Structure 1
Amino acid sequence: MSVTAPAGFEASGVAVGLKSTGKPDVAVVVNRGPLKVGAAVFTSNRAKANPILWSEQVIADGAVEAIVLNSGGANCFTGSFGFQTTHQTAEKTAEILGVGAGDVLVCSTGLIGTGDQVFRDKVLTGVAEGIAALSTTGGDDAARAIMTTDSRHKTTVFEGDGWRIGGMAKGAGMLAPGLATMLVVITTDAVIDAAEADAHLRAATRVSFDRLDSDGCMSTNDQVTLLASGASGTTPDAEAFRSALIAVCTDLAVQLQGDAEGASHDITIRVVNAATEDDAVEVGRSVARNNLFKAAIFGNDPNWGRVLAAIGTTDAVFDPYDVDVWMNGVRVCSAGGPDRPREDVDLTPRATDLQIDLKSGSAVATIYTNDLTHDYVHENSAYSS
């Protein structure tokens, strides 16, 4: 049931013609309370879509009644008309629900630079139809409505001790930290306040969505939202709740990785024994963004030399001539030199594990990425056609 698994939430997903496929394209999630707590993190791209500009204002007071999400159009670089469309979306939602427009978040995803009166009318129609279709079992419909190039909807549920967390996500391309081309809605019926929700969400996204680096491209529409209803009446231990939220975010991030456009390998890069966590992240990300390495993995070529070449471009503390590298459990590089024969490495499975030992400390970090394929190039060369 995704976002409707926790008590206090209703959701829906309806089709209003934003997608040419006729599939659901507007989702609504409503928090029935008793708490109306909200927190969100947004893309760090300076080029922000109109829904991001709106939602950044809404979330400031930590109170959220509902969130409306549409696929089939990013509503980005659409001028004042586009911002007015976002504003009207929130106002329409607020009018029907009997709440304030300033407590309604809006998200959009799709092609950048398009948006007209037809788009606006369809979104507003979607708001009305979506609210009319709200139910406590509508989480999966909502998850399907936010899909764009996704091949499947992405949901997760965590069962706590008397409380739950549910989540849905979309994303398949432009997946890079800060955040990614993702829309994520997470709900919980735990009793937490706005400050706690914000702190927990930032801690969770830091080690999950911000470690997903599929193609090095940063979007304009990314938003990860946490809504808390308090309907369980249970106040969880803070550490237990944060751990659960990290698990939920990591689960969704890995689902996004597994559906990356055109990918044939899901690559998990684990950097160990770094001087600092920042160093570990920097080293892992340098490999995740190295097209030569990603192309080699696509060709099932355990070319570990490309790993060393990539990490050598970073400012991290380590001796490049004392690094060990493992590929799918085989140490192919020891102390910066050859170890086991490349033929010992089997890269035919989709799951690909890369471990890099920097021998400079005790910090670790994991980065999630994928290979670079012909299908990725084809899909993105024809995205707007």
Structure 2
Amino acid sequence: MSVTAAQGFEASGVVAGLKSTGKPDVALVVNRGRRAAVAGVFTSNRAKAHPVIWSQQVVADGDARAVVLNSGGANCFTGPFGFQTTHLTAETVAEALDIGAGDVVVCSTGLIGVGDQTFRDKVIAGSQSAVVELSPTGGTAAATAIMTTDTHAKEAVVQGDGWVVGGMAKGAGMLAPGLATMLVVLTTDADVPAAKLHSALRSATHVTFDRLDSDGCMSTNDTVVLLASGESGITPDDDAFTRAVTALCADLAEQLQGDAEGASHDITIEVVGAVSEDEAVEVGRSLARSNLLMAAVFGNDPNWGRVLAAIGTTSAQFDPYDVDVSFNGVRLCAKGAPDRPVTDCDMSPRALRILLDLHAGPATATILTNDLTHDYVHENSAYSS
């Protein structure tokens, strides 16, 4: 039930006609609980969609009751009409729920530049229908409605000590870090104030969604929002709550990685022996964004030379001739030189782990990514057609 696993939440997913497939495309999550705390993390892309601009204002006071989401159109770069559409969407949901429009987070996903009167009419009508269809078991319907090129709904639940955190996510392309990397709604029935929600969410996204770098392309609409109903009546220890939120985000991030458009390998890049965590992240990201390395992985070629070439472009402190590189547990490079034949490494499994030891310090970081495939290029060459 994902977002409705926590007490006090209802959700729905309905067909509004935004998708040509006739599949659900408007979702709604509502907090009916005693508390209406919220925290949000948004794209750091300077090119922000209208729903992001609106929702940043909504979460600023730490209170929100609902999140309405549509797929089938990003409502980005649609001018004043687009922002008015976002505002009207919030007002429509607010009126139906008898709450203020300033307590409604709005999220959109899909093609940039879509935002005419037809789009508006369908979003508004869909939002009205979503209110009618709200249900304590509507989590999966909501998770299905926010899908775009996703092949399946993405949901997760983590049980606390008498409280729960649940969530749903969408994303299969344009996955790159910027505080958040897709549309994600998280809910909890723990009794947690907004400030602590914000702290836990920032901590969680920093080591999960921020480390998912599937194709190096940052979206204009990325949003992660966490709602707390307080219905369990339990206020968990701060560390325990942060661990639960982090585990939930990690689960959803891995689901997103596994559904990346056209990918044939799910790649975990583990950097150890770095001087600092930031440098470990920089090094790991340089591998994730190396088209040459990702193409080699697609071809089942453990080309560790491309690893060294990529990390040499970073500002991280290390000696390139003191670096070890392993693919799936087989060390192919030791101290910047061949260690054993590349034929010793089996690249055929979908899961691939690249371990890079810089031998420069105590810090580590892990980046999740995917290979570069023909299917990915095809999917994104015809996305708007």
Structure 1 length-normalised TM: 0.99
Can you list the C-alpha shifts for 1:92-118, whole angstroms capped at 9, x where unaligned? 011010000011000000000111111
Please give the alpha-carbon distance, in whole angstroms, between the structure 2 residues aligned to 1:50 and 1:349: 41
SS in 2 for 1:308: helix
CA drift of 1:181 comes to: 5.0
Corresponding position of 2:209: 209
Corresponding position of 1:222: 222
CA drift of 1:313 comes to: 0.4
Corresponding position of 1:250: 250
Are the counterparts in 1 of residues 180 and 205 from structure 2 also a CA contact under 8 Å? no
Please give the alpha-carbon distance, in whole angstroms, between the structure 2 residues aligned to 1:164 and 1:133: 23
Corresponding position of 1:98: 98
- For 1:19, give the aligned amino acid: K
Corresponding position of 1:173: 173
CA drift of 1:179 comes to: 4.5
Q: Check if 1:345 corresponds to 2:351.
A: no
Q: Check if 1:85 corresponds to 2:53.
A: no
The aligned runs of 1:211-360 (5 Å cut-off) are 211-360=211-360
SS in 2 for 1:379: helix
Can you list the C-alpha shifts for 1:137-163, whole angstroms capped at 9, x where unaligned? 000000000000000110000011100
Please give the alpha-carbon distance, in whole angstroms, between the structure 1 residues aligned to 2:180 and 2:384: 19
Are the counterparts in 2 of residues 71 and 109 from structure 1 also a CA contact under 8 Å? yes
- For 1:51, give the aligned amino acid: P
Are the counterparts in 1 of residues 181 and 212 from structure 2 also a CA contact under 8 Å? no
SS in 2 for 1:61: coil
Please give the alpha-carbon distance, in whole angstroms, between the structure 2 residues aligned to 1:128 and 1:219: 27
Please give the alpha-carbon distance, in whole angstroms, between the structure 2 residues aligned to 1:344 and 1:301: 11
Corresponding position of 1:60: 60
Are the counterparts in 2 of residues 109 and 221 from structure 1 also a CA contact under 8 Å? yes
Can you list the C-alpha shifts for 1:250-288, whole angstroms capped at 9, x where unaligned? 110010000001100000000011110001000000000
Corresponding position of 1:147: 147
Corresponding position of 1:30: 30
Are the counterparts in 1 of residues 42 and 180 from structure 2 also a CA contact under 8 Å? no
SS in 2 for 1:96: helix
Can you list the C-alpha shifts for 1:64-103, whole angstroms capped at 9, x where unaligned? 0101000000000000000000000000011010000011
Can you list the C-alpha shifts for 1:169-227, whole angstroms capped at 9, x where unaligned? 00000110004651000000001101000011000000000000000001100000000
SS in 2 for 1:213: coil
CA drift of 1:361 comes to: 1.0
Please give the alpha-carbon distance, in whole angstroms, between the structure 1 residues aligned to 2:115 and 2:361: 51
Corresponding position of 2:73: 73
Corresponding position of 1:188: 188
SS in 2 for 1:54: helix
Corresponding position of 2:378: 378
Corresponding position of 1:17: 17
Please give the alpha-carbon distance, in whole angstroms, between the structure 1 residues aligned to 2:221 and 2:279: 28
Are the counterparts in 2 of residues 28 and 67 from structure 1 also a CA contact under 8 Å? yes
SS in 1 for 2:55: helix
Cα separation, partners in 2 of 1:206 and 1:181, compared to 1, 3 Å: closer
CA drift of 1:340 comes to: 1.6
Please give the alpha-carbon distance, in whole angstroms, between the structure 2 residues aligned to 1:98 and 1:114: 29
CA drift of 1:33 comes to: 1.3
Are the counterparts in 2 of residues 35 and 231 from structure 1 also a CA contact under 8 Å? yes
Please give the alpha-carbon distance, in whole angstroms, between the structure 1 residues aligned to 2:277 and 2:180: 21
What stretches of structure 1 move > 3 A for 4+ residues in a row? none
Are the counterparts in 1 of residues 275 and 362 from structure 2 also a CA contact under 8 Å? yes
Q: CA RMSD in A?
A: 0.6
Are the counterparts in 2 of residues 174 and 180 from structure 1 also a CA contact under 8 Å? no
Please give the alpha-carbon distance, in whole angstroms, between the structure 2 residues aligned to 1:227 and 1:177: 22
Overall identity of the aligned pairs, in %: 71
CA drift of 1:7 comes to: 0.2
Matched residues, number: 385
Please give the alpha-carbon distance, in whole angstroms, between the structure 2 residues aligned to 1:282 and 1:354: 15
